[in-house]
Structure 1
């Protein structure tokens, strides 16, 4: 556990992206716990593509955001899933900029977790969850293991970044 400002945070990674009838389930967690965020299919595919290193034929929105940041000397520092209210997760996208004219500047933006994750994965930035959100999130580790048993997602020990049956393009 680390700290982000005055709140304790837990580092997490995307464990899997699984298509659902209404979009995609993004499984986030560590070796101890996994929870799920439901996202729309377009962003689910963007996250899956970033995980699998699948280049898009043309830049997608999340690629464009990353390119704009780099063009202005900025980068994604981290993403923090910082709240959960009324069945909705919230996140902050923490960006920084530094150049020869201006000292280092940090900007924190409100973002949908799905968009923030898609951008962060492309920029190889870390993902965190505020401790209170982590503690309150339902642990779905067993569900993820069942999906792996059924061959719908790879097991972490397989060392693959493939996602179960989702076309990342």
Structure 2
């Protein structure tokens, strides 16, 4: 079984997913469940964002992502599958083949204008945390049908608070975007 675990970890590394469990794993403390509300595009900057909704907290967290990742997330949300596996499908397939179980995805931190996420994977009796871009982690979570959570410190610092019919911006927004997520198309 050790060879089995080493093989899946080697494959994940080959595909550009770095193992940084020691640094980021300690940050997982008070996660809040979110749902992917959709992918939006800022009409002025044309930047894409995935919108994470924390219903229990009345907050929306926009995470700016690339267009390829936005397309992948949109396809999963719409139930559209490509005839050949995309990278996120490949990661999901590898987890299945090697009996790894993705337990959840954690949006764990925000530093230097960058969000950080973890894939929390169970391999036999071990739980490993794999450092990933949130956009990739969210796409894999949607493919696998597992929960997505955001650390409370991230959501409180960067999430838009839903106050009745209005979104109140965070005190320290992650980017210089002036258009709130409600106006994205």
TM-score by length of 1: 0.75
CA contact (8 A) 2:28 2:108 kept: no
Higher helix share: 2
Aligned to 1:131: 152
Aligned to 2:40: 18
Q: What is the count of residue pairs matched by the alignment?
A: 140
Aligned to 1:34: 60
Tell me the alpha carbon deviations over residues 84-120 of structure 1, each in whole angstroms, 9 at most, x when there is no partner.
112111111101123xxxxx22111111111111111
- 1:72 deviates by 0.4
Tell me the alpha carbon deviations over residues 58-96 of structure 1, each in whole angstroms, 9 at most, x when there is no partner.
110000100011000012110111111121111111011
- 1:29 deviates by 1.6
Question: CA separation in 2, counterparts of 1:137 and 1:56?
Answer: 33
- 1:23 deviates by 4.2
Please, which of 62, 67, 88 is the counterpart of residue 114 of structure 2? 88
CA contact (8 A) 2:41 2:47 kept: yes
Aligned to 2:136: 115
Aligned to 1:101: none
CA contact (8 A) 1:22 1:40 kept: no
Unaligned runs of 5+ residues in structure 1 are: 99-103, 153-169
Unaligned runs of 5+ residues in structure 2 are: 1-25, 168-179
TM-score by length of 2: 0.69
Question: CA separation in 1, counterparts of 2:28 and 2:132?
Answer: 20
Question: CA separation in 2, counterparts of 1:8 and 1:28?
Answer: 16
Aligned to 2:10: none
